[in-house]
Amino acid sequence: MWMQGGFHGSGMLVLLIFVIVPIWKIVSKAGYSGAWSLLSVVPVVNLVALWIFAWSRWPLEQNRGDNASD
């Protein structure tokens, strides 16, 4: 019953902040737009995006010409 009020909505907001903010920083450091972190809260799309980021060549690597991770 206590989940039906404002707590549920504010609890979700806090959870989203604790998920999106660090992912935004990580994705930005990799050279992508931080807005990609918004995909982390969309079911199934978040897993697809994770695999794409894991296996693609990051913009940061392309700028350095680094092939060390391949």
Residue range 6-63, pLDDT digits in tens: 567 787 788 788 989 999 998 888 888 888 888 888 889 999 988 988 888 878 777 7
44 in a structural domain: yes
From CA 51, how far away is CA 11, in angstroms rounded?
28
42 in a structural domain: yes
Q: What predicted TM-score, i.e. pTM, was given to this entire model?
A: 0.65
Q: How many domains does the chain have?
A: 1
69 in a structural domain: no
Residues spanned by the domain of 53? 2-64
70 in a structural domain: no
36 in a structural domain: yes
Answer for the pair 58, 64: CB distance below 8 angstroms, yes or no.
no
Q: Exposure pattern of 38-67 as b/e (b: 16+ CB <10 Å)?
A: bbbeeeeeeeebeeeeeeeebeebeeeeee
